[in-house]
Amino acid sequence: MAQPTVPVMPQARAKGSITLSPDHSSRECYRMDYLEEFPVLFIDDELHSDTAEGRASREIVKELKEEDFPVIEALTARDGVHAILSHPHVCCVIIDWDLTPEPADGMLTAADLITLIRERNPKVPIFLNTEKLAISAIPLSVISRIDGYIWKLEDTPAFIAGHVKRAAKNYLSDVLPPFFRGLMDYVEDYRYSWHTPGHMGGVAFLKNAAGRIFYKFFGENTLRADLSVSVPELGSLLEHSGVVGEAERKAAEVFGADRTYFVTGGTSAANKIVWLGTVTPGDLVLVDRNCHASVMHAIIMTGAIPVYLIPARNDYGIIGPIRSSEFRPEVIAEKIRRCPLVEGPASQPVRLATITNSTYDGICYSTGWIEERLRDVVAYLHFDEAWSAYARFHPLYAGRFGMRRSTDPADPTVFATQSTHKVLAAFSQGSMLHVRQGRGAVDHARFNEAFMMFTSTSPQYTIIASLDVATKMMSGHSGKFLVEEALEEAIVFRKKMVAVAEEIRMNPLPDEKYWWFTVWQPDCIMGQETETNDHLLQEDAGCWLLNPDEAWHGFDGIEERYAMLDPVKVTILTPGVGVGGGMEERGIPAAIVTKYLRESGIVVEKTGYYSFLVLFTLGITKGKSGTLLAELFRFKALYDGNSPLEEVFPDLVRRYPARYGGLGLAEICGEMHEFLRSESITEVVRNVYSRLPEQVMTPAEAYLRLVRGEVTQVPVSSLEGRTVAVMVVPYPPGIPVIMPGERCGPETRAIVDYLGILQEFDTRFPGFESEVHGVDVVMEDGQRVYYVYCVAE
């Protein structure tokens, strides 16, 4: 007999579960089945004392535990602080007003604890444990921040526990955001489903061995929450109705937008929605050449004519900001005049400008500065903020995000597309598209047609729920402190790296062992004895500015306060590149370091030739950064001892024994560095992006030729003079070196040379092959040869 699609009867409720109300139209309908996850924090220095007050406190704790509330006990103010930091999900806090300050705690008082808690969570219930006669001595600043009092020697423990329980339930009833609350309610109703998806709440997976493993791995709730648009209680993402519409409206409020759209196809889809909703064939657009491939795809899809804004690059190949001079009206006008694809440039308006903020390497712009310069140039301004969705929530980033306040109706309409899943807490592919209305305001009904083009009629509800929860996590005071923790960890790591370098410098070592990894950052970031304290580094953006008179960043053409480095994006530099960009005799290519880290369980975000990027996001912990530091130490020891590759990279040696057998770690680093040095890779990479190829046809026209088969494959050695039909994107750095419809000539020969170097590198160092999108790799006589589709002549 076939199994039913869902259980006929509800499952037994978990211990401690509470049903507040069966009425699903009420906010109190949420059924808290997870009470055991939310403890009560009891801070009382007499909890373990053999006194009347100590015994009364223990009785209250006993009553709470019998009500299935876990209790965290803290005997000092400092213990209370640690408990709050490690258990931010407490549902109630009880503090003894007569808590004795101790020198070891820094003389923290109950009032100090209340201030700290309220800075982190303005809503969690706080009760003061005191005497009635003592209330008159409690300052108004404290009274206004608490929810009530406990008279533990006058009321019964059961009464006090009930009072706490009621407050905790009321608090928890408002914890969940609208869509996730509705999704949980629907899933827990155990309804028979006669609609898609076909697995029917996961039951279909139970009919097969592989399916059962799948079911067990992901769990019942994940599969039961995979629902269909046929569920009216959850509204429609395409129509932005019901609780999903409510969730989007709440996100707009939290992220400072006039309107927010939940996007389940990642920021790749969000970027295309912006473009398809604003740009038409033949429109002129300004595009950051340092943009994501999805923006380049949008250029193809819309048939737009791109005019590029050129970013700076330094000697490490780190992508800097667009030079401020690129935004001058006269410079933009000259770019348009010189664009061979523009007819009648004097009368051609610019429809949209797209800027990457922050860049992949963590450079944030002054968005107000950019808006001011483009105010009379474009009607629509799009900031691709895939990597900086958190910027609004901390004062360090003030004025460096798209959804900043604007009261000038002459400002352009601003879009900000954010990868919530990358840097906040959401499922992969969960992104948001924010709109701030300005000149050329967006009409929702028309814009939604573009939204529907890139949104499935069967969206993944768990992605939507994760976006809803991410919004709730960033609302109120919570957002600031979540970002603050990431900043703290990043700054501690940065300073520790500097301190380690100083310690190595002070210790007597042979010349060949006198090295350490450095961090790309302002000179004011010192070690543990720095005059720049942690608080200043966390709060003052001036510490992180790319000032024009400072050499550390390596970029020219930077205006004062125009751009800053995001502290949570940490670029670690490996030896090999000297001051001024010249390559040193000895070096350690970053690809070898990050391969070692990857095989040690540490995956970095991006690897350059002599640099790699690590992200300190909301999910960072002290253990993670400590592990990274330990593995860097271990790599140094292995390198200094020239450890055999059979021990460092055993899989690599097994796969390519003839190439790597018998070599040591220092030897392969030396070989790879010598190749890159002989090819002057730092100079080549800088030249590749300093001048753009010739525009022969629009990207859309080149793509049409590709689809029609009016193309031929050309080896990169013969690429000069040919018009390419695809986007060629080497990783690192993940930025196109050539776009569809462009042609390399003698002035841009560096692009052809660069691709040739990558091709040769892949042949010489198997296992470390370059990732280049847009090329086909063919083995010819034992050599890797790159082929690129070009328009047929």
Q: Encode burial over 660-678: b for 16+ CB neighbours within 10 A, e otherwise.
A: beebbbbebbbebbebbbe
How is residue 466 written in tokens? 């994760």
Catalytic choice (96, 288, 384, 753): 384
How is residue 707 written in tokens? 């689809």
Q: Which residues pair with 735 in a beta bridge?
A: none
* Phi and psi based region of residue 644 (left: phi greater than 0; alpha: psi -120 to 50; beta: remaining): beta
How is residue 755 written in tokens? 């691709």
The residues, ordered by sequence, that sit 6+ positions from 670 with a Cβ below 8 Å of its Cβ are 586
Torsion angles phi and psi, residue 486, rounded to 5: -65, -40
Helix, strand, coil fractions of the chain, as percent rounded to 5: 45, 15, 40
Q: Which residues pair with 518 in a beta bridge?
A: 573
How is residue 108 written in tokens? 């923290």
N-terminal to C-terminal alpha carbon distance within the chain: 66
- The residue with tokens 């050309």 is 714
Burial class (CB in 10 A: 0-12, 13-18, 19+), 586: middle
Is 292 an annotated catalytic residue? yes
Helices (H), 507-613: 534-539, 590-599
Residue whose C-alpha is closest to residue 227's, from 467, 6, 3, 450 = 6
Is 315 an annotated catalytic residue? no
Distance between CA atoms of residues 306 and 290, nearest Å:
13
Is 421 an annotated catalytic residue? no
How is residue 317 written in tokens? 């190949």
Distance between CA atoms of residues 110 and 81, nearest Å:
11
Distance between CA atoms of residues 449 and 296, nearest Å:
21
Residue whose C-alpha is closest to residue 571's, from 608, 516, 617 = 608
Interstrand relation of 611-615 and 569-573 (parallel, antiparallel or unpaired): antiparallel
Distance between CA atoms of residues 792 and 672, nearest Å:
37
Residue whose C-alpha is closest to residue 421's, from 431, 412, 413, 409 = 431
Distance between CA atoms of residues 300 and 703, nearest Å:
7
Distance between CA atoms of residues 722 and 714, nearest Å:
9
Helices (H), 343-475: 367-374, 420-423, 444-453, 461-474
Residue whose C-alpha is closest to residue 355's, from 562, 493, 512, 196 = 562
The distance from CA 577 to its chain's CA centroid, rounded to whole angstroms, is 29
Helix (H, G, I), strand (E, B) or coil at 436: strand
Instruction: Find out whether 451 and 417 touch, Cβ atoms under 8 Å.
Output: no
The residues, ordered by sequence, that sit 6+ positions from 538 with a Cβ below 8 Å of its Cβ are 396, 484, 487, 488, 491, 567
Instruction: Find out whether 594 and 613 touch, Cβ atoms under 8 Å.
Output: no
Instruction: Find out whether 265 and 419 touch, Cβ atoms under 8 Å.
Output: no
Distance between CA atoms of residues 490 and 615, nearest Å:
8
Catalytic choice (250, 382, 421, 422): 422
Q: Tell me if the bond preceding 412 is cis, omega within 30° of 0.
A: no
Helix (H, G, I), strand (E, B) or coil at 751: helix
Residue whose C-alpha is closest to residue 250's, from 185, 182, 169, 188 = 182
CA–CA distances in Å: residue 731 to residues 351, 468, 609, 743: 30, 33, 10, 21
Q: Which residues pair with 779 in a beta bridge?
A: 784
Catalytic choice (292, 382, 472, 569): 292
Instruction: Find out whether 340 and 695 touch, Cβ atoms under 8 Å.
Output: yes
Residues with a catalytic annotation lie at 292, 384, 422
